[in-house]
A and B are shown apart, each in its own frame.
Chain A
Amino acid sequence: MSKILVVDDSSTVRDEVAGFLRKNGLDVDTAVDGKDGLTKLKGSPGIKLVISDVNMPNMDGLTMVEKIRGELGNSTVNVIMLTTESSPAMKERGKAAGVKGWIVKPFKGDAVLETFRKLAS
């Protein structure tokens, strides 16, 4: 089964998002920051969708995406940012890094579930 990786420094958010996706039959792994996310992605080629926060310690979400595309050379994994940030400049940076979509928190699972399924398949 295709996997989804949820990356957020908040355990509350990781539990909420991963819990919702698992409850709906999806296979989910989690990471605590951008550095951990890169490690998890390197070790799990089955990950098809990454849902990530922006503001995290050690490595922020957008830097992680830039490294996924650059250092890891992975241009196929879909990335959705789930963040409090909504500035156009931040979104442009995300787009340029290859982010597929943007959700401003709070997370509303029912509104995005089907899209997440498609992006993870």
Chain B
Amino acid sequence: MVNSSSFECCRKQGSKLNENKPVSKVLVLEDCPAHVEAIRNFCDENNLIGVKVTRSRLASALRSNFDLGAIFLAESYGGSSEESAGIARKIHAARPELPIIMRRQTGAMPNDFPPGLDAVVCGTYVAGDMASLRKVIDEYIFNCEYPNALVRGISELTSPVLGSVFSDMGVAVDAPCLVRDRIIFGEVFSLIPLESTWCRGYMMIQAEEEPILDLLNRRETSQGAADFRDLNSLLGELTNLIWGAFKNRYVGDADALSHSQVQVPLLINHKQKYISFGSESPHLCFTYRLKDEQSGRTVKLHQRFAFSLSWSPEDFREFEQVAGETAGAGELDLF
């Protein structure tokens, strides 16, 4: 099993991401040191996080959950174009949802696909023409505009909810990222639809079963050891609280919804760790880390937004609660 420490991150030391924009992880399969440097610079400038893995661990890495947005593959990776083409075909067979962007040898035209790879590679570029690479990542990763207020607001409303449910733990959140892979994190997840006049889709909360059960068992109760039903209930209520906060802040008057109620089936194959929301678009993802301040142990929760049914960011609105009209959360508003 490959864990996150098997991935090497290729970022410039001290480089800063644009924190108002979600990032995306790209797997960099590149043998040329000069071009690794070029990709490092490109990633810094384009809110990407490049990750590398040794060739021997590539297959097992692709079976793991790393929340990738795309794969950058050099045409000469592995020593020859035939080797690289074979690797591209294997990646595509294992993970067809991950776009493979190929760096072609100098002299090739942009989007001039290597022979036999037009169904495998989604775009190409040549060294020195990073504008073509930019165009491909804009098409396959950053093809959805997420309002800054939404991206910032989701973690703003989620973190206090986590803090209230897990009051004995600290809450930290990673930079939001755009993810194309469909591998599920952990074994258990909740799924709830989101609907408004400007968006329709789902929110999912995913978790590993054992750390949360361990956390529940460390809490003193008179009801015996926690089991998966307790975990289901906790995750369900957590999802409900976050959903409610999201609705209050971003949905407003749902009766004004003018779209027809289109639904698509959700496909969850847990044995294969596969999920489909019926669309190939990337999802907006957040990772929260709950830290037990005493023991130092941490628990990860992944939050994923897939606005796969409808997306109109130009109609995005935020609803302000007027001060004095409503009691704060937890306070009794007597009529």
Residues of A within 8 A of B (CB): 10-13, 15, 55, 80, 83-89, 91, 94-95, 99-108, 111-112, 115
Q: Which residues of A contact B326 (CB under 8 A)?
A: 86, 104
* Residues of the A chain whose Cβ atoms lie less than 8 Å from the Cβ of B164: 106
- Contacts A87-B248, A112-B331 aside, 18 further interface pairs with beta carbons under 8 A come to A10-B240, A15-B221, A84-B240, A86-B248, A91-B333, A95-B335, A100-B335, A101-B334, A101-B335, A102-B332, A103-B330, A103-B333, A104-B327, A105-B241, A105-B329, A106-B329, A106-B330, A112-B330
B 180-221 binary contact with A (CB < 8 Å = 1; else 0): 000000000000000000000000000000000000000001
Say if the beta carbon of B17 comes within 8 Å of chain A.
no
Give CA–CA (A88, B322) in the complex, Å.
11
Q: Give chain A's interface secondary structure class.
A: mixed
Query: What are 14 residue pairs bridging A and B, where the CB atoms are less than 8 Å apart in the complex?
Result: A84-B244, A88-B325, A89-B253, A101-B332, A101-B335, A103-B327, A103-B333, A104-B327, A104-B329, A104-B330, A105-B241, A105-B329, A111-B330, A112-B332
B236 at the binding interface (Cβ < 8 Å)? yes
**Chain B's nearest CB lies how many Å from the CB of A82?**
9
- Name the residue among A10, A88, A94, A112 with the largest chain B CB count within 10 angstroms: A10
In the complex, the answer to whether B332 meets A115 with C-beta atoms within 8 Å is yes
Contact B234 A84, beta carbon cutoff 8 Å? no
* Residue pair B248, A10 in contact (C-beta under 8 Å): no
B8 on interface, CB distance cutoff 8 Å: no
Interface: B245 (CB within 8 A): yes
Contacts of A106 in B (CB 8 A): 161, 164-165, 241, 329-330
How many A-B residue pairs have C-beta atoms within 8 angstroms? Tell me.
82
What are the residues of chain A within 8 A of B3 when measuring CB–CB?
none
For the complex of A and B, the 6 pairs showing the least CB-CB separation, nearest first, are A84-B244, A108-B330, A106-B164, A10-B237, A101-B334, A11-B233
Residues of A within 8 A of B234 (CB): 12
Could you mark each residue 219-247 of chain B with 1 if its beta carbon is under 8 Å from any beta carbon of chain A, else 0? 00101000001100110110011011101
**Minimum C-beta distance from A54 to chain B (A):** 10
Cβ-closest chain B residue relative to A19: B221
Is B332's CB under 8 angstroms from A111's CB? yes
In the complex, whether B321 has a CB less than 8 A from a CB of chain A is yes
Which residue, A91, A101, A104, has most C-beta atoms of chain B within 10 A? A104
| Cα A101 to Cα B105 with chains together (Å) | 70
A84 interface neighbour in B165, B241, B255, B334, Cβ under 8 Å: B241
Cβ contact within 8 Å between A55 and B335? no
State A102–B330 Cα separation when bound (angstroms). 9
CB-CB < 8 A to A88: which residues of B?
A: 325
User: Nearest chain-B residue to A9 (Cβ)?
Assistant: B236
CB–CB A102/B333 < 8 A:
yes
A80-B329 contact in complex given A11-B230, A86-B321, C-beta closer than 8 Å: no
Chain B contacts for A11, CB-based, 8 A: 229-230, 233
Could you tell me the distance between the alpha carbons of A46 and B245 in the complex, rounded to whole angstroms? 35
Q: A11-B230, A86-B321, A106-B164 are in contact. Are A101 and B241 (CB under 8 A)?
A: no
Please measure, in the bound complex, the distance between the C-alpha atom of A99 and the C-alpha atom of B333, giving whole angstroms.
Answer: 11
Q: How far is the CB of B221 from chain A (nearest CB, A)?
A: 8
Give the CA-CA distance A12 to B235 in the complex, in Å. Answer: 9
Instruction: Choose among A13, A15, A100, A103 the residue that contacts B331 (Cβ–Cβ < 8 A).
Output: A103
Residues of B within 8 A of A15 (CB): 221, 223
In the bound complex, residues from chain A placing their C-beta under 8 Å from that of B165 are: 106
* A86 to B233 alpha-carbon distance, docked (Å): 22
Q: Using CB atoms, name the residue of chain A closest to B335.
A: A95
Chain A residue at smallest Cβ distance from B252: A87
